[in-house]
A and B are shown apart, each in its own frame.
Chain A
């Protein structure tokens, strides 16, 4: 697959930013006008967020080879370890490790939506999976303020509870009616209509219901944390 130069540049800059960040643990602005506006924007985005609004897109599907796929921490396409299971933990009554079959056996939700990347591009896909809210019920999750999603290749992101419990936020195991491909996060990934692409963690390994915001891969490198659409 051809890599657009913008992506390479993004990675170079991210590397440079990571070096510059040795002194502080977070690349997001914390002080001054930009820090204050970042906090203000987070509140505005949370206020604009509707926990029940579901969006349906009727446009044509983006051809699968035209749907970009990024896997930030490594250059190679990540492959799930043998015996892969999705661990669900944190403050839950029944911590679980679910196989793909067990995930698929849970109530299924499917929808077509326009994907919005922080870079500015959009693409349309069908997603099939189980709602995070359904999974939360399944494991008896406590009312924690945050939910964090971790992949088996080192990527992660944390979400506000409202967005994670949105009816269109799924643990997706299918894309466009087929099992999720290795480029798009197989065997299972997080997919939500209400967040920018980088919040939608692929190659899931772990979901934790937590009381504190735990940042994220790009969030800790300078991108905003809320990133709602």
Chain B
């Protein structure tokens, strides 16, 4: 745990907020591009196993007006997206911020699993308390799993943020493969060919969208901490545990 650092340093805040409109327009122009041919698999051999074949994305979720307009948006903003990501990644490595934001060492994965089990246990415990008013089963009324050590973020949060960054990288690489399937044919090959890259690019977007939904839900639940991503927060706030201490009953 580093002390004396604000929860959200300036470059984290700037790159975060640049990402919001850029990623939104990238996603919307991407859906407009997909609409020109919303099927997966080569002509004459469409992949039957792929869900969302021929999906008609709602108009409000698209940008660019038509295929050419959407392509101009997509290929202009991709440079902003990548440039912003490079600033972010350079900063993460140089400042060692990644230690309190990412989770990527294999042994840390166990901590993320334990955090998830802790949440399941907490949910079970709350359920037991409600049921305990009806049926008296005192052994329900304790918590079995302790939360793993948590810094600015708990291991599960760090796993989610690391996953979102990895998804961004996958979107860039699969996008490059679709853009240049001949000149970057080795990249397209890595992605399972042009059609594989299209699949990865689209379902990667859906995964990123799922992250954003979960992210916004967590912001809504922990709205008191929202101003930090604008103001940066106070250095000592970062030292506060993010999890409330387990209730006394847990260790009774």
Contact = CB atoms under 8 A, between A and B. Distances in A.
Nearest to A27: B68
B43 A37 contact: no
A122 B43 contact: yes
Nearest to B34: A120
A29 B182 CA distance: 26
22 contacts: A6-B35, A6-B36, A10-B36, A10-B67, A13-B66, A33-B76, A34-B72, A37-B72, A38-B75, A49-B183, A53-B182, A66-B43, A114-B194, A118-B71, A119-B36, A120-B178, A222-B69, A222-B72, A223-B71, A224-B71, A228-B183, A229-B183
A229 B182 contact: yes
A120 B42 CA distance: 10
A136 interface: no
A193 B182 contact: yes
Contacts of A40: 79
Contacts of B35: 6
B195 interface: yes
Interface in B156-205: 178, 180-185, 193-195, 198
A116 B36 CA distance: 13
Given A10-B67, A221-B68, A121 B181 contact: no
A135 interface: no
Interface residues of B, number: 33
Given A10-B67, A50-B183, A53-B183, 18 more contacts: A6-B37, A17-B68, A37-B79, A38-B72, A48-B183, A62-B43, A66-B45, A114-B193, A116-B181, A119-B36, A119-B67, A121-B42, A122-B43, A122-B181, A194-B182, A194-B183, A221-B68, A229-B182
Nearest to A40: B79
A120 to B, nearest CB: 4
B76 A38 contact: yes
B194 A67 contact: no
Interface in B50-90: 65-69, 71-73, 75-76, 79
Contacts of A175: none
A77 interface: no
Nearest to A62: B44
Interface of A is mostly: loop
Contacts of B180: 45, 48, 228-229
A55 interface: yes
Contacts of B142: none
Given A114-B194, A221-B68, A62 B42 contact: yes
Contact of B42 (A41, A49, A123): A123
Contact of B43 (A29, A45, A121): A121
Contacts of A50: 183
Contact of B33 (A60, A120, A218): A120
B190 to A, nearest CB: 15
Contacts of B193: 114
B143 interface: no
A68 B43 contact: yes
10 smallest CB-CB distances across A and B, nearest first, come from A66-B44, A37-B76, A222-B68, A120-B37, A119-B36, A123-B43, A13-B66, A229-B182, A119-B37, A48-B183
